[in-house]
Amino acid sequence: MPEPFVVIGGDAAGLSAASKCKREAPDRDVIVFEKGQWVSYAHCGEPYFVKGEVDKLEDLLSLTPAEIEERDIDLRRGHEVVAVDPDAGTVTVEGPGGEFEQSYGDLLVATGARAVTGPIEGSELDGAFPLHGLDDAAAIRAFLLDPSEDALADVGGTDFVDRERVERFGGMAPPETAAIVGGGYVGVEMAEALSAHGLDVHVFQRSGHLLSPFGEAVGEAVAEELREQGVTLHLSEEVERVAGDGRVERLECAGGTALDVDLAVVGVGVAPNTDLLDGTAVELGEGGAVAVDEYGETSVDGVYAAGDCAEDDHTVTGEPAWVPLGLTANRAGRAVGATVAGDPTPVGSIAGTAVVKAFEQECGRVGLLDDEARDAGFDPVSETITTRSRSGYYPGAAETTVTLVADRASERLLGGTIVGTDRAAVRIDTVATALEADMTVAELERADLAYAPPFSPVWDPILVAAKVLNGKLKD
Ligand SMILES: Cc1cc2nc3c(=O)[nH]c(=O)nc-3n(C[C@H](O)[C@H](O)[C@H](O)COP(=O)(O)OP(=O)(O)OC[C@H]3O[C@@H](n4cnc5c(N)ncnc54)[C@H](O)[C@@H]3O)c2cc1C
């Protein structure tokens, strides 16, 4: 019997790998070490839980610990792996009963990413939160409640939740003014979530645009939407510190702007969790995430990495890239599980396909936009069009803005964005599929996309954009 398949991290990548391996090779021992109490949870639902659209924390679990154990996976919650020794084929684990060593045959590092709050001072004050985990989401929602309400009952998840934190914030006077530091997708989702509770919401963004990876057309549409919904934007403002006497009272910016606030969301970005591998032969890529081959294997035989802690090859450039998102984590984990079970399965490439909802606006992006394309050595040509989402005579038709980017010489499609109110975001999947198929703009223009008045105009917005960009390329 081979040594066990050991997985570090019990969420998307880790549990996808463990489940797939167990399904393909039921006799293989599979052990999952998770340092926290939550496993198989959806980070992506956290803003909607804070908003109140998701009722209880347990609604955000894909599998309960009992369901995982029914799959014959040896799940150890509250167990942190503190060292990896690839030469000895062991990991060192700190659990409730103390420290011990566990040998492995294959090892998957699926430790995810962490919220980065630095270099902002004061992010440890009461009322300053990152949003990276169900306990953060629970604490924020408890803080929004009136102290007369039962916070533990409201948030749910009482078997696992950090009860002390929920009760502490639940007992405080609810906030009235919130600052969100960072106008990325989590910041935009949190602006909507906190506005729904009637807070006066301010978003601070260092650059001049919200949602920078989505390009200017999307950023401007989202800024307009947030302002219309009553959110105050502080663009080109660099937050230096959250100030207060034990509790958040004020936000101070480098340019001198200051604002009295009583809640601050300070997760300005994420970084891969790779400290565990310091001093080992496992190589990291340029961005600090673990470098892997097409099967998710690291520079050390038998040691794999998947999800937010790992790189993958980019669909357009073929070069390693770090894009920490949900599907890629699940997919890479599942592939590694199949590979260690004896069915070598590539983890797939990443196109950076992302969608986000900002109140009524739906936004999507994929591939390389102008600057990224130039940095990757292409000569990008782009075109932005605005058209209707359905036949103009059909109720519900709304403006939809599409940007497509192509390489001038090869006319190959490189990327695109979309924004609009009527199911705009999912249309980005057409562009993602075209990138996967290495299409030129002319090939995309000839794609046979669906048409009926309730769903689309005769010329789908993506086709209109391809037609206009193709014309520009032929000029
Ligand atoms: C608020 C929020 C919203 C998001 N929304 C979206 C979205 O809409 N769409 C999308 O595609 N993606 C979204 N994401 C990103 C998505 O959630 C991640 O890409 C995905 O969860 C990554 O899965 P993972 O398994 O790699 O890492 P994680 O989900 O971070 O899991 C890693 C696990 O490893 C554990 N761990 C770490 N170190 C150790 C150790 N040493 N020992 C034991 N256990 C350890 C951690 O406790 C954690 O449970 C969102 C993320 C956040 C935070």
Is there a catalytic annotation at residue 21?
Answer: no
Instruction: Please answer whether residues 239 and 251 qualify as being in contact, where contact means their C-beta atoms are separated by less than 8 angstroms.
Output: yes
Q: Whose CA is nearest to atom 30 of ligand 1?
A: 112
Ligand 1 contact, 347 CB (< 6 A):
no
Instruction: Please answer whether residues 188 and 356 qualify as being in contact, where contact means their C-beta atoms are separated by less than 8 angstroms.
Output: yes
Q: What is the pLDDT of residue 159?
A: 86
CA contacts within 13 A on the Cβ side of 372 = 21
Ligand 1 contact, 456 CB (< 6 A):
no
Ligand 1 contact, 48 CB (< 6 A):
no
Name the residue of 32, 51, 111, 266 whose CB sits within 8 Å of the most ligand 1 atoms, as the mutation to test its pocket: 111
Q: What is the pLDDT of residue 2?
A: 84
114 CA: nearest ligand 1 atom = 30
Q: Whose CA is nearest to atom 14 of ligand 1?
A: 44
270 CA: nearest ligand 1 atom = 53
Nearest to 112 by CA among 230, 7, 11: 11
Dist. CA 75–CA 68, nearest whole Å: 7
Nearest to 438 by CA among 272, 279, 315: 315
Q: What is the DSSP string of 28-77?
A: S-EEEEESSS--SB-GGGHHHHHHTSS--GGGGBSS-HHHHHHTT-EEEE
Ligand 1 contact, 445 CB (< 6 A):
no
41 CA: nearest ligand 1 atom = 29
**Residue 9 C-alpha to ligand 1 middle, in angstroms?**
9
Tokens 């207060």 sit on residue: 244
Tokens 């300005």 sit on residue: 268
Instruction: Please answer whether residues 360 and 225 qualify as being in contact, where contact means their C-beta atoms are separated by less than 8 angstroms.
Output: yes
Instruction: Please answer whether residues 459 and 431 qualify as being in contact, where contact means their C-beta atoms are separated by less than 8 angstroms.
Output: no
**Residue 99 C-alpha to ligand 1 middle, in angstroms?**
25
Ligand 1 contact, 326 CB (< 6 A):
yes
Q: Whose CA is nearest to atom 48 of ligand 1?
A: 9
**Residue 362 C-alpha to ligand 1 middle, in angstroms?**
23
Q: Whose CA is nearest to atom 17 of ligand 1?
A: 43
End-to-end CA distance of the chain: 66
Residue 245: partners with Cβ closer than 8 Å, 6 or more residues away? none
User: pLDDT per position in the chain (475 positions), as tens?
Assistant: 789 999 999 999 999 999 999 999 999 999 999 999 999 999 999 999 999 999 999 999 999 999 999 999 999 999 999 999 999 999 999 999 999 999 999 999 999 999 998 789 998 999 999 999 999 999 999 999 999 999 999 999 788 999 999 999 999 999 999 999 999 999 999 999 999 999 999 999 999 999 999 999 999 999 999 999 999 999 999 999 999 999 999 999 998 999 999 999 997 789 999 999 999 999 999 989 999 999 999 999 999 999 999 999 999 999 999 999 999 999 999 999 999 999 999 999 999 999 999 999 999 999 999 999 999 999 999 999 999 999 999 999 999 999 999 999 999 999 999 999 999 999 999 999 999 999 999 999 999 999 999 999 999 999 999 999 999 999 8
Tokens 């036949």 sit on residue: 391
Instruction: Please answer whether residues 401 and 419 qualify as being in contact, where contact means their C-beta atoms are separated by less than 8 angstroms.
Output: yes
Ligand 1 contact, 332 CB (< 6 A):
no
Nearest to 358 by CA among 238, 473, 203: 203
Ligand 1 contact, 16 CB (< 6 A):
no
Dist. CA 455–CA 449, nearest whole Å: 11
**Residue 113 C-alpha to ligand 1 middle, in angstroms?**
6
Q: Whose CA is nearest to atom 35 of ligand 1?
A: 9
Ligand 1 contact, 33 CB (< 6 A):
yes
Dist. CA 207–CA 129, nearest whole Å: 22
Q: What share of the chain is helix, strand, coil (3-state, %, to 5)?
A: 30, 30, 40
**Residue 133 C-alpha to ligand 1 middle, in angstroms?**
8
Ligand 1 contact, 132 CB (< 6 A):
yes
Nearest to 330 by CA among 5, 22, 17: 17
Dist. CA 421–CA 358, nearest whole Å: 10
Instruction: Please answer whether residues 404 and 412 qualify as being in contact, where contact means their C-beta atoms are separated by less than 8 angstroms.
Output: no
Q: Whose CA is nearest to atom 41 of ligand 1?
A: 81
Dist. CA 366–CA 350, nearest whole Å: 10
Ligand 1 contact, 267 CB (< 6 A):
no
Instruction: Please answer whether residues 189 and 203 qualify as being in contact, where contact means their C-beta atoms are separated by less than 8 angstroms.
Output: no
